[in-house]
Amino acid sequence: MALKDLMNKAQEVTASASDAASKFLDEFNEALPTMRALGFTVRDLRIGMGLLPEIGAKLVASTDTMDPKKIDELIKKQQERKTLVALLKALQAAYNIKQQLADVSFKGVEIDVALGLPPHINVGFLGNTSGSVAVPLASAAQALVA
């Protein structure tokens, strides 16, 4: 009986993890059209399955496509879309920090998002080399949880 109970519990956990991953993927898919409209493309996609599933992706764009007014407008219009708003707020905060680094030029921006428990968003600016200057924004992850 103990083995049967253990198998049933494992199946329940697997089903819960699969449901959570599906929810994360749905939220990410809802955010993609808006991010594409801002000039972002999906560079890679990661899927981690386990007790706590995780969907991750890197979105990249040219810094020339960043329009702070448009981002602010989208945040106000899309309040009910938590994942999208968290991505936009992270981008907005990183852009504001970037503006304070006037002597450093960046060619691109990269958003590294991990939708899981807890969610996490990093924004990095890409220079002329392959390296990046990462600007982690813990507040963006908190916006996803709220």
Report d(CA 123, CA 109) in Å as an integer: 7
The tens digit of pLDDT for each residue in 67-118 reads 888 999 999 998 888 889 999 999 999 888 888 877 778 889 999 999 887 8
Structure tokens at 119: 């969610």
Residue among 106, 81, 85 at smallest CA distance from 95: 106
Tokens 């981008």 sit at which residue?
Answer: 91
| pTM exceeds 0.85, yes or no | no
* Pair 38, 31: CB distance under 8 Å: no
Strands (E), 25-107: 41-48, 54-62
Question: What mean pLDDT comes out for the span 113-140?
Answer: 68
